[in-house]
Amino acid sequence: MDGHKFHVLFGSMNYLSMFPSFILAPWIWAKVFMVDYETAMTAEATKSIQGVFLCLLVVVAPSYC
C-alpha cells in the first residue's frame, strides 16, 4: 500500500468514527477541544460540535471512501 492510499484510508476511518464516538463518549472530545471541559461542555457547545462531526460524516467521509 502506498502513502496516498494509506492517507485516504486513514482519513476515511477517522471521519467515519468521529460522530459515533461523540455520541457514545462525548467526554473524550471535550478533553480534546476544551481545557475546562467539565464546565465548558454546555448543551450549545455539544450541539455545535455534533453538527460539525455530522457534516464531516455526511459530506467528507464519502469522498474519502
Please determine, for residue 18, whether its predicted confidence score (pLDDT) is greater than 70: yes
**18 with 53: CB under 8 angstroms?**
yes
What is the number of structural domains in the chain? 1
pTM: 0.71
Range of 24's domain?
A: 3-64
How far apart are alpha carbons 9 and 40 in whole angstroms? 33
Q: What pLDDT does 60 receive?
A: 85
What sign results for the dihedral spanned by CA atoms 47, 48, 51, 57? negative
pLDDT band at 1 (very low <50, low <70, confident <90, very high): low
| E strand or H helix at 8 | helix 3-24
